[in-house]
Amino acid sequence: MQKMGKQKNKTASFSFWNWVIASIIFRLILIYFPKNLNLASRPEVSTPLTSFRRLAEGYWLKQLSMSPYAGFSFCFFFFSLCPTFFNFFFILIRQKKEMYLIFLVFGYSGSMYHGSPLLLSLLGPLTVKRIEGQPNHLLYSLVSVIADVVSAILIRATGKNLRLAYLRSLESLDIVQQTKASGEFFKILSPGDAAALIYLWNPFTIVACVGLSTSPIENMAVILCLYGACSRLVPLAAFGWVIATHLSLYPAILIIPVIFLLGCGPDAPPRKLFLQKNNKEEVLSKSKLRLGFSWRPITHFAFWALLWSAYVLVLCGISLKQFGGLWEMFKSTYGFILTVEDLSPNIGVLWYFFAEVFDFFRNFFLIVFHVNILFMIMPLAIRLHHRPCFLAFVYIAIFSMLKSYPSVGDSALYLGLLGWFVNELADIQFSFFLFCGYVGVSLLSPVMHTLWIWRGTGNANFYFATAMVYACLQIILVVEGVSAMLNHDRKLRNLATSKPQDAKS
Amino acid sequence: MATFINSKTIFRLLVLPCLLLYSSIAHNSSSVEATMHTNNWAVLVCTSRFWFNYRHMANTLSLYRTVKRLGIPDERIILMLADDMACNTRNKYPAQVFNNENHRLNLYGDNVEVDYRGYEVTVENFLRVLTGRHETSVPRSKRLLSDEGSHILLYMTGHGGDEFLKFQDSEELQSHDLADAVKQMKEKLRFKELLIMVDTCQAATLFNQLQSPGVLAIGSSMRGENSYSHHLDSDVGVSVVDRFTYYTLAFFERLNIYDNASLSSLFSSYNPSMLMSTAYCRRDLYQRRLEEVPVTNFFGSVMETIHTDAAYKALSRKDSGRFKAQMSLDQSVHHHERRTLINVNDQDEILNTKAEDQQGASTCPFTSFYEKLRKGENVDSLVNYGLVAMLPLLGVSSWLFQ
């Protein structure tokens, strides 16, 4: 029985690696298509923050000893080099009876590159390196592929961790037998494998990887942070958090799930369930779970986070010393994210609104949109503090939807992390509807974009409609996911507390 | 009476003059601040059509060639030709326009870029070019995109009279139209200095209404005088050049791009007996002395070249002041004396080492490292080392502090 179990495990892991290798091969095949299938020019894939062309331009500026965040006067030189059409978006849209709607999007271009200077040093040389006979950006694509694979491996490891914790918590609640008997248990899917494979084979991830955006690297940093926090590797978690925040601002709110992970441990049913059990049966010794909230890892985390942030900031300061230093960097990266300067269309909801908001109210609405993310942090933290990984998933879903420049790479992250909770979220409502919705939006969105921009038979509202539907789908996913998780907790509580009655029959 | 004058009234009485005074001071101070001469533009207009006005076309094309030869690129020349002489059916030499009967020079090569041609040369378009008030569909090549640092040469030739210039044989540009357009240009800061050169009969009368400062006007004849053509080319069959333009070209053919002949020498080269008219120069609106202004300020476009050994760094504010001083020196550079190579970085280093000496820097390795950092030579490699070192540091720390 045990041998068969081990063999089963081996075959399971073997097929996992099969799938990983198959996904690498698939990505390589797509990379070898001419011009990366023009995915890098799709607004869903490359945003002003993740665009490959902007990275190349920032690197080119740096090579000329100019600031990578240089402004308009220097932009003339390399429009010939990088024929970007999405930064000179002068769109004239005519409604039949209504007025001209002119979207002067980024026509008077300010700086192009808005990412981290460390990415410039790291990935910059790869943007220009060419190998004879191979596709143009092979090395850069390979970096994205490697980042994806590393993320998948880390997701799998974290998933294993989560599964172990889940099993332990079920054991300590003595409801393993019930859950097995009620037939909802582990013939299943190991959550780690499921999540890793979902992440690797998600069309969004593949498109973000082949489309040469920097999303795979940002996702890798977030996953590294969560892995470190789950495995109690405090320096790793701090490093991942610092890098993720540095690359894109929003993962900063993941500090809350990380604190809960380090303090309490991975996902578990609510603590009071254990206390109830313990009150009833006094099986304190059996429970291997740490019940209290320990502050030591938190202080370690704070120390390491400070250390890594100082390191990163010193490196950035050195690299930008002649170009205005850290303040320039903060203005061009965080300031750009927070002030939503670039209004090129993307699958988010901010660009349309900020294209028509009056200047007088612009700051007010910027605050509203950003607080929209912030005010959801506290209630969710209070409700889901016993499940930090799920809390992290919800936070990631929220900021992937409401960030200034979302892309499909961001959605790829939380869709992959959804796989960790396949067992808990097994009876999520509207799952088929959501799946069809995602497929539909990802097919319709390029069509609407083409209708609007290239054929002129549509207008911005067509494209924004798909963006709104996408946001709605994400909202439904988050809401239903949270309610499914809470239902699962409720079910566990019923199973745990009603055990004596079940034992009778 | 005294009861009606309370403090409020006094306040109101005082506020308005104060505001006026303040606005005038502000305006004056803003007009006093000096703008740098940054670019040169040329607007060359030929206003007459028909074959017998060949010479006006040749005039304009000769000026075009001169101005291009002395350095103004096509992007900054607006050439308006009211008729096509080169491909006219009466032209014995197709695609060729001469300004001399020796046919030595073909003015209509393959790099002539005409911006307004034929019936597009109207008074309306001319005024639109000057004032910059175009329809949105007008392409950039047809616009005068000058700014407050531009020197503009405006050359017009054709048939004219007392306070007017004839366009296309059907409409006229009057002197007050021209003055109004120039006034608008000045208001919109579209030029720093403007040289208007007109070669028509009674050309000087066209400048009667000009009032804007910074405008220098040269006309080929005074009121009541005609401007005559120079000679007849019996082969082509018409007069090929006007006298005023002929002698202007004779002056410029002796020059090349590095010469610093002044405007006064240009003007004094006009001999009334040879011109058969009196060339007139209106200089009361022009503050500078003509002896100090080189002709290349308007007719050419001389670029400053400063050789640096290091990589290109964007000009910072403090450097531009230094370049201003250098530019005033450059006025007296002759052709055989190329500009001495000023190494900007060397100057920087000299200043830095001087500062160091004053501070008495020690030879500590840390300070030398810091100096290297300040100079920014090994920045990239340092950042790369830092990035690479991150990974082992991460691994070691994770392993140690599990």
Assess whether pLDDT exceeds 70 at residue B311.
Answer: no
B339 falls within a domain: no
Which pLDDT tens digit goes with each residue over B80-111?
Answer: 999 999 988 999 999 899 989 899 989 998 78
CB B64 within 8 A of CB B99: no
Distance CA B382, CA A474 (A): 43
Give the end of a domain, one of A108, A128, A148.
Answer: A128
Residue A296 lies in a domain: yes
Domain boundary at A82, A104, A128, which? A128
- For A425-429, B1-5, B144-148, B213-217, which range has the lowest pLDDT when averaged over its residues? B1-5
Provide the Cα torsion A374, A379, A385, A389; round to 10°.
-50
Test A234 with B401 for CB contact under 8 angstroms: yes
Cβ proximity of B115 and B74 under 8 Å:
no
B108-158 residue pLDDT tens:
987 899 999 999 999 999 999 999 999 989 999 999 999 888 999 999 999
Domain count, chain A: 2
Q: Is residue A505 part of a domain?
A: no
Examine residue B4 and state whether it is found in any structural domain, yes or no: no
What pLDDT digit, counting tens, does each position of A362-385 carry?
999 999 999 999 999 999 999 998
State the burial class of residue A14 (Cβ atoms within 10 Å of its Cβ: 0-12, 13-18, 19+). exposed
B74–chain A nearest CA distance, Å: 18
pLDDT band per the 50, 70, 90 thresholds, residue A191: confident
Q: CB contact, 8 Å: B20 with chain A?
A: no
CATH number at residue B72: 3.40.50.1460
pLDDT: which is higher, A82 or A155: A155
Residue A19: per-residue pLDDT: 92
Residue that has been written with the tokens 């991460």 in this structure: B394
Nearest to A321 among B311, B379, B397 (CB): B379
What does the alpha-carbon distance between residue B225 and residue B221 come to, in Å, rounded to a whole number?
6
Q: Which residues of B touch A121 (CB under 8 A)?
A: 380, 383-384, 387
Q: Is there a domain that residue B29 lies in?
A: no
Q: Is residue B337 included in any domain, yes or no?
A: no
Q: E strands of B101-147, at which residues?
A: 116-117
What is chain A's mean pLDDT, rounded?
82
Q: Are residues A90 and A166 in the same domain?
A: no
Question: Which segment of A66-75, A89-98, A445-454 scores lowest on mean pLDDT?
Answer: A89-98
Residue B152 resides in a domain: yes
- Do A304 and B312 lie within an 8 Å CB cutoff? no
| A175 and A269 assigned to the same domain | yes
pLDDT band per the 50, 70, 90 thresholds, residue A73: very low
pLDDT of residue B375: 60
At A464, list the tokens.
Answer: 């924004």
Q: In terms of domains, do A88 and A222 share one?
A: no
Mean pLDDT, rounded, for B240-244: 92
Residue A77 and residue A171 in one domain: no
Beta-sheet pairing, B171-174 with B164-167: antiparallel
Domain of A108, in residue numbers: 2-128
CA distance A258 to chain B (A): 16
Mean pLDDT of A325-354: 90
Tell me what the pLDDT averaged over chain B comes to.
Answer: 80
- Statement to judge: residues A166 and A95 lie in one domain: no
Looking at the predicted structure, is the pLDDT value of residue B3 above 60? no
pLDDT at B271 over 50: yes
Q: What distance, in Å, lies between the first and last C-alpha atoms of chain A?
A: 29
B12-57: pLDDT as tens digits = 555 555 555 555 554 444 444 567 888 899 999 999 999 999 999 9
Nearest partner of B295 among B268, B318, B277, judged by Cα: B268
A104 and A222 belong to one structural domain = no
Asked if residue B33 is part of any domain, the answer here is no
Look at B379 and A505; give whichever has higher pLDDT: B379
At residue B8, the pLDDT reads: 61
Residue-wise DSSP of A279-323: HHH--TTT--S--S--SHHHHHHHHHHHHHHHHHHHHHHHHTGGG
Is B35 among the domain residues?
Answer: no
Residue A441 lies in a domain: yes
Identify the pLDDT of residue B46: 95
- Give mean pLDDT, residues A265-287: 67
Domain that holds residue B174: 40-299
- Torsion sign (Cα): B391, B396, B401, B402: positive
Q: Which pLDDT value is given to residue B18?
A: 52
Q: Would the CB atoms of B383 and A117 count as touching at under 8 Å?
A: yes
Average of per-residue pLDDT across B59-66 = 93
Q: Is B397 on the interface with A (CB under 8 A)?
A: yes
Say whether both A113 and A257 belong to one domain: no
Q: Are A318 and B314 in contact (CB < 8 Å)?
A: no
In this model, does residue A395 exceed pLDDT 90?
yes
Grade residue A222 by pLDDT with cuts at 50, 70 and 90: very high
Query: Which of A66, A118, A300 is facing B314, going by the closest CB pair?
Result: A66
Structure tokens at B140: 């950039």
- Judge if A383 and A334 occupy the same domain: yes
Instruction: Give residues 294 to 353 of B whose Cβ lies within 8 Å of A.
Output: 311-314
State whether residue B391 sits within 8 Å of chain A by CB. Answer: no
Please identify, among A78, A106, A128, the residue that sits at the C-terminal boundary of a domain: A128
Tokens of A459: 């207008």
A246 lies in the same domain as A355: yes
Higher-pLDDT residue of B45 and A129 is B45
Whether residue A71 is contained in a domain is answered as yes
What's the structural domain count of chain B?
1
Q: Do A162 and A92 sit in the same domain of this protein? A: no
Listed in sequence order, the residues at least 6 apart from B308 whose beta carbon sits closer than 8 Å to its beta carbon are B343, B344, B345
Shared-domain flag, residues A291 and A409: yes
B137–chain A Cβ distance below 8 A for any pair: no
* Per-residue confidence (pLDDT) for residue B304, from 0 to 100: 62
Same-domain check for residues A297 and A151: yes
N- to C-terminal Cα distance for chain B? 94
Helices A460-497 and A271-281: angle between axes, nearest 10 degrees: 10
